[in-house]
Amino acid sequence: MKPALEILDAHKTPLGDLVLRRREIMSLDAQVVYEVKLAEEFLMSSLFTEAEKELARLGLAKLEGDSWDVLVGGLGLGFTAAEVLKNPSVHSLAVVELFPEVIKWHLEGLVPLGYSISLDPRCTIVERDFFKSVLDDKMIIDSNYPNKYFQAVLLDIDHTPRHQLDGKNAEFYTQHGLSLMCEYLDPGGVFGLWSDDPPDQGFVELLRSVFSDIEANVVSFYNPLLDKESTNTVYLATKT
């Protein structure tokens, strides 16, 4: 019998210990949950995935036509990427992930969605620092994506635009950083961002300085651990 809490993988990284664990929550009828921690912070949990899925759904819903090329920043447990791949209009998906350990979890099937994402022929997963690649203007995925433009860039890495996992990421959340990222979008393309905080009017105004048609969508979901509703925010912005 598996233990109630099982460490599936653990590695030291420049940002702290990265841990993948599986646990059964007895108060929820022994529901199995996968969790990722970085240092002392929880990065993600398979118990709360609605906003990550909505990032994909809402972002792609704003696109026209079909045969879309999509970039997802941050692989994590894979819920945003998997939701993108459910859309039949997606031609290709490039997922940019900082930690090679996270990529390994998917390639080796340590997380539930791993094989379905990594074995999808439309999907390419690359080890790359999303923020550094954008700020250095070097977001070339591989030889199949030279100087490629995307119809959507969906980002789920930092907790919020103001609470980053690494302070170096802060430069991305400026007019200059967002303008550099915008260059990788086709006209009419969509930038989507997940945030753990309520809508931030200052960030909305920052998006408005670079993009058009700005939205700050509140995504509500039931939190069984607290027995109440919780919310995240999905920002959407369109390149003119």
Give pLDDT tens digits for 166-219. 999 999 999 999 999 999 999 999 999 999 999 999 999 999 999 999 999 999
pLDDT at 148: 78
Share of the chain above pLDDT 90, in %: 88
Closest by Cα among 123, 79, 102, 137 to 20: 102
pLDDT of residue 4: 83
Q: Is there a contact between 9 and 110 (Cβ–Cβ < 8 Å)?
A: yes
- Mean pLDDT score, 132-159: 83
Q: What is the number of residues in the chain? A: 240
Q: Tell me the pLDDT tens digit for each residue of 108-144.
A: 999 999 999 999 999 999 999 999 999 987 766 666 6
Instruction: Round the average pLDDT of the chain to a whole number and report it.
Output: 95
Q: Where do the domains of the chain lie?
A: 5-44, 48-238
Q: How far apart are CA 99 and CA 124, in angstroms?
A: 15
pLDDT score of 171: 98
Q: What are phi and psi of 29, to 5 degrees?
A: 60, 40
- Kind plus residue range of the DSSP H or E element containing 157: none
Place of tokens 């949950």: 33
Which region among 5-9, 89-93, 136-140, 214-218 has the lowest average model confidence (pLDDT)?
136-140
CATH architecture of 48-238: 3-Layer(aba) Sandwich (3.40)
Which pLDDT value is given to residue 205? 98
d(CA 108, CA 86): 21
Spatial separation of the C-alpha atoms in residues 94 and 219, rounded to whole Å: 25
pLDDT of residue 1: 52
pLDDT tens readout for residues 35-88: 999 998 999 999 999 999 999 999 999 999 999 999 999 999 999 999 999 999
Question: Which one, of 51, 40, 20, lies nearest residue 196 by Cα?
Answer: 51
